[in-house]
């Protein structure tokens, strides 16, 4: 099969033939029809995240946002057959640990990630371990391009908004209008929150307005926390950091009103190394909450897909470009310079 592989960090990916994956007894092989190029893939390509055990062994095929069709199944797979249209969360669950059993598969004690723990979806075929547990069947109304769009960034933004506990009419600030941030803007607007988007790029802020933001703040032109407190007359009820850099994390915490909730989605870069100082006195005095948010558990997919199928959410509106495998390296270069816009999705694999 044809695939794109990371052979060296920060070097162009190798595009060429590699052996087709074969299924173990519980595995499923997917023919990939669409796979997103995510900033998490960029982190893998950069060699980041060794501090949390997520710097992959090279060579590896990246890609964890995919939709496709079942090609082959292992002999113990019971719930899926060739021809089924499916996707999978980027985080593979074991199905038997306490977190998986309690509906929190995104916190699996043995969590593995496509394109980090093993080969991912920048290829014509991808192996999904433990397919009966990890595969998600797509409704007829949801095509595989949409499935790729929700594969990481959108479902992560969706779960982050759920973790924010916002109610209709509440103010929700979203820091970073990339893929996760725009997804959170769209979801927040759909549930009735008043969303403020923050970024340094006016084009991304304009897109955030298209997706439902009622106000935007350019962090290079305004003091973010002051602007949000003025817009909201006291601060946001909840705030999401979708980027993972020190500046946006602190802005997210400091823009809250008393009793507000900060949701951390973005993982940090090599510069922060996972460690960022927080204003503990303000957190204490204002009774702020700080929560983490990772992916989207299997148990929450039915609700997400139902909202998409009914037209209440539209992840495909965030797909700004369909590309070929040969284009991936240039997209990763653009990510280095924050030049990407919306979702770039691979739909040509030959």
pLDDT digits (tens, 9 = 90+) for 261-290: 999 999 888 888 889 999 999 999 999 999
293: Cα separation from own chain's centroid: 11
Longest dimension (CA), the chain: 61
* Structure confidence at residue 49 (pLDDT): 82
pLDDT in tens, 292-330: 999 999 899 999 999 999 999 999 999 999 999 999 999
* Structure confidence at residue 195 (pLDDT): 98
Q: State how far the Cα of 3 lies from the Cα of 61, in Å rounded to an integer.
A: 7
Binned at pLDDT 50, 70 and 90, residue 85 comes out as very high
* Structure confidence at residue 51 (pLDDT): 79
Binned at pLDDT 50, 70 and 90, residue 210 comes out as very high
* Structure confidence at residue 54 (pLDDT): 76
Beta partners for 216? 197
Return all residues near 230 (Cβ < 8 A) that are at least 6 apart: none
Task: Spell out the domains of the chain, with CATH numbers in brackets.
Answer: 2-153+296-348 (3.90.180.10), 157-292 (3.40.50.720)
* Structure confidence at residue 231 (pLDDT): 98
Q: State how far the Cα of 338 lies from the Cα of 303, in Å rounded to an integer.
A: 32
Cβ neighbour number for residue 1 with a 10 Å cutoff: 16
Return all residues near 96 (Cβ < 8 A) that are at least 6 apart: none
Q: State how far the Cα of 35 lies from the Cα of 121, in Å rounded to an integer.
A: 6
Three-state DSSP state, 97: coil
Please, what sign has the CA dihedral across residues 243, 244, 248, 251? positive
* Structure confidence at residue 271 (pLDDT): 86
On the question of pLDDT at 253 being above 80, the answer is: yes
Binned at pLDDT 50, 70 and 90, residue 130 comes out as very high
Cβ atoms of residues 134 and 26 within 8 Å? no
* Structure confidence at residue 47 (pLDDT): 87
Q: What percent of the chain has pLDDT over 70?
A: 100
pLDDT in tens, 38-80: 988 998 999 888 877 778 899 999 999 999 999 999 999 999 9
Cβ atoms of residues 53 and 1 within 8 Å? no
* Structure confidence at residue 105 (pLDDT): 94
Cβ atoms of residues 254 and 190 within 8 Å? no
On the question of pLDDT at 134 being above 80, the answer is: yes
Cis status, amide bond into 59, omega within 30 of 0? yes
């Amino acid at each position: 099969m044809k695939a794109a592989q990371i052979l060296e960090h920060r070097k162009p990916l190798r595009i060429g033939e590699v052996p087709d994956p074969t299924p173990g007894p519980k595995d499923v092989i997917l023919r990939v029809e669409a796979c997103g190029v995510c900033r998490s893939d960029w982190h893998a390509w950069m060699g980041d995240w060794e501090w949390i055990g997520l710097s992959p062994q090279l060579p590896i095929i990246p890609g964890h946002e995919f939709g496709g069709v079942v090609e082959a199944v292992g002999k113990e797979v019971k719930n899926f057959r060739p021809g089924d249209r499916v996707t999978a969360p980027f985080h593979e669950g074991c199905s038997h640990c306490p977190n998986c059993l309690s509906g929190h598969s995104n916190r699996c004690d043995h969590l593995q990630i496509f394109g980090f723990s093993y080969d991912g979806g920048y290829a014509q075929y991808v192996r999904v371990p433990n397919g009966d547990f990890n595969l998600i069947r797509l409704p007829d109304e949801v095509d595989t391009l949409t499935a790729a769009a929700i594969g990481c960034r959108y479902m992560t933004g969706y779960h982050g908004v759920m973790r924010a506990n916002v109610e209709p009419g509440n103010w929700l600030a979203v820091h970073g209008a990339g893929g996760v941030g725009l997804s959170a803007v769209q979801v927040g607007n759909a549930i009735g929150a008043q969303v403020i988007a923050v970024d340094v790029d006016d084009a991304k802020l304009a897109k955030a307005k298209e997706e439902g933001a009622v106000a935007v703040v350019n962090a290079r032109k305004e003091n973010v926390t002051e602007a949000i407190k003025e817009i909201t007359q006291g601060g946001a009820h909840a705030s999401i950091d979708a980027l993972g850099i020190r500046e946006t994390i602190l802005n997210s915490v400091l823009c809250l009103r008393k009793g507000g909730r900060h949701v951390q989605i973005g993982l940090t870069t090599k510069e922060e190394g996972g460690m960022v100082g927080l204003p503990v006195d303000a957190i204490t005095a204002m009774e702020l909450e700080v929560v983490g948010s990772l992916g989207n558990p299997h148990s929450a997919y039915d609700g997400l897909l139902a909202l998409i199928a009914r037209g209440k959410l539209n992840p495909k509106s965030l797909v700004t470009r369909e590309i070929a495998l040969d284009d991936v390296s240039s997209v990763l270069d653009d990510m280095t310079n924050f030049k990407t816009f919306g979702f770039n999705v691979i739909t040509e694999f030959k």
